[in-house]
Structure 1
């Protein structure tokens, strides 16, 4: 067959066939009287071998070695399973790069740019957020012009990936000021298998506008296996008057994790008569728990002091006669 017919039947362009010939990959076995390339059946079979290996992602150099050098095929690193494994990794990396590009393009589109200057500013911000320098990332957030709209989703994704506390704080500040809404991105982060991501997501949700989606995500986080994540959610929900936060806030007092802040929120929630007795009972039950040590019971006494109402005062007066002298002294002084 002449080169034109081979090109039609194989789908490989005549230009590529000439390139294969020049590289020695697929050389026609003969020539016509006029000097044209003439391919035999064996040549065409070899061509399909080349195209098959190319479809798997092998380079032309690797294909040449595979077809000509038996040692190449015997090398464990070049075994079909190893090559396919490499190709899978390359394909995954390529897909990840394309996914990141797609997200960037969607983020730019979401900013509703009216001109190339807007596009370039958003790209500049995203490049700054990708910097390996924490100072550069923070500068990218804080130096953003007020008139530049930044999609909340861009800030949310940056928060989930941020490891520096200072930059994370700047990003949450920018997210709160953006006026945007990114509950889906942050809610996914709050469900991440990586506790570090969850610890970044929940405080970010807390600064978002109070929407049903944000409240649902925070409420779900109250059951997180990580105490820090639960604490962030409880402080946010308790500050919004949610009774669901009470058990976690009490646990924060018991554990001594931001116990002063938790006690203050419990006191605010107790101003509602419908919740007062529930909170008082929860604190007293922890005081009477067999496992409660002196330090824990003193923190609980201090939390009782914050509660309004006569029932809390009566509980303090009883504790002034507690068997634990340290607890009794603190209760007596505060009562």
Structure 2
């Protein structure tokens, strides 16, 4: 069926608007693409996610994709998580976590969960805890716990949140990590358990207290 000329013109304006030099125009364009979803937008929205420099526009692009049928968006996003471009992988994983279609679970591989880029890994952790089937949660907890002690505070907080999202079944894994040879791993595991027990405690105070516990433990062993 031939689309009415006006509809075709509107679609072309949306597709062109995503490349506009002004972030405000790209933001409005992404909003329009989500407000009136069209299958022909999906490919361009996914492509733009990989290169868009503005955080707010990227979030709107993700929102626009969530407004389209998962049967159309998820296969394109799964292709993107295999991209060599860091932002393409990160944003595709972020969008898959927002869509929440568990058919995407096999795409969240161990390689992505341990990606060298912190932002990709963080996006993979968030996607994994949303998409993981119940009977694979224990295995995921083991994979995630292997990343304990990694990166700076924001990265560690992201990992703690992902582990906590799996619930109390992570406790045996955390307790095993508390005996790790690396003091950074031990401290991160202790802080994560404290956040699980008391979500209002705040990660900053939890990690500092955990570091003190580890330091005192090491001092006690020396004595």
Q: For residues 57-79 of structure 1, what are the alpha-carbon distances to aligned partners after superposition, in whole Å with 9 as ceiling and x for unaligned?
A: xxxxxxxxxxxxxxxxxxxxxxx
2:81 corresponds in structure 1 to 190
1:166 pairs with 2:75: no
CA RMSD of aligned residues (A): 3.3
What do residues 202-222 of structure 1 show as CA deviations (whole Å, max 9, x unaligned)? 21222234142x212223632
CA distance in 2, matches of 1:115, 1:327: 74
Q: d(CA) in 2 for partners of 1:129 and 1:157? A: 10
Specify which structure has the bigger relative contact order, considering alpha-carbon pairs within 8 angstroms and separated by 6 or more residues: 2
1:218 to 79, 99, 108: 108
Q: 1:323 to 1:263 in 2, by over 3 A?
A: closer
Could you say which residue in structure 2 is the equivalent of 1:131? Answer: 20
Secondary structure of 2:109's aligned partner: helix
Q: Normalized against structure 2, the TM-score is what?
A: 0.71
Q: Specify whether residues 304 and 188 from structure 1 end up closer, same or farther in structure 2 by C-alpha distance, changes over 3 A only.
A: same
Say whether the 8 Å CA contact 1:298–1:327 is kept in structure 2: no
8 Å contact kept, 1:250–1:282: yes
Matched, 1:259 2:156: yes
Q: What do the CA deviations read for 1:272-298 (whole angstroms, capped 9, x no partner)?
A: xxxx2xx334323332222224xx544
Larger radius of gyration: 1
Once the 2 structures are TM-superposed, how far is the Cα of residue 183 of structure 1 from its aligned partner?
2.9
Partner residue, 1:15: none
1:7-26 Cα distance to aligned partner (Å, 9 max, x none): xxxxxxxxxxxxxxxxxxxx
1:143-186 CA distance string (max 9 Å, x none):
45834535322321221232222211110011112234223332
Please give the per-residue CA displacement for 1:225-282, whole angstroms capped at 9, x wherever unaligned.
Answer: 43432221122221345524324533555224443453344334234xxxx2xx3343
**2:133 matches 1:238:** no
Q: For residue 122 of structure 1, what is the aligned residue in structure 2?
A: 11
How many angstroms apart in 1 are the aligned matches of 2:142 and 2:121? 10
Contact 1:176 1:208 in 2 (8 A): yes
Q: Is the 8 A contact 2:50 2:91 kept in 1?
A: yes
Post-superposition CA distance 1:130-151 (Å, at most 9, x none): 1122222112112458345353
* 2:201 aligned residue: none
Q: What SS class does the counterpart of residue 161 from structure 1 fall into?
A: coil
Measured in 1, the distance between the counterparts of 2:194 and 2:218 equals 13
1: distance between equivalents of 2:58 and 2:214?
47
Match of 2:145 in 1: 250
CA 225–299 in structure 1, closer or farther in 2 if over 3 Å, else same: closer
Distance 1:155 1:260 in 2: 29
Is 1:290 the equivalent of 2:185?
A: no
| Whole-angstrom CA distance in 2 between matches of 1:125 and 1:215 | 31
Q: Are the aligned partners of 1:128 and 1:140 in contact in 2 as well (CA < 8 Å)?
A: yes
CA contact (8 A) 1:252 1:258 kept: no
Calculate the TM-score normalised by the size of structure 1: 0.50
Structure 1: which 5+ runs fail to align?
A: 1-111, 309-318, 329-335
Structure 1 Cα separation of the partners of residues 98 and 62 of structure 2? 7
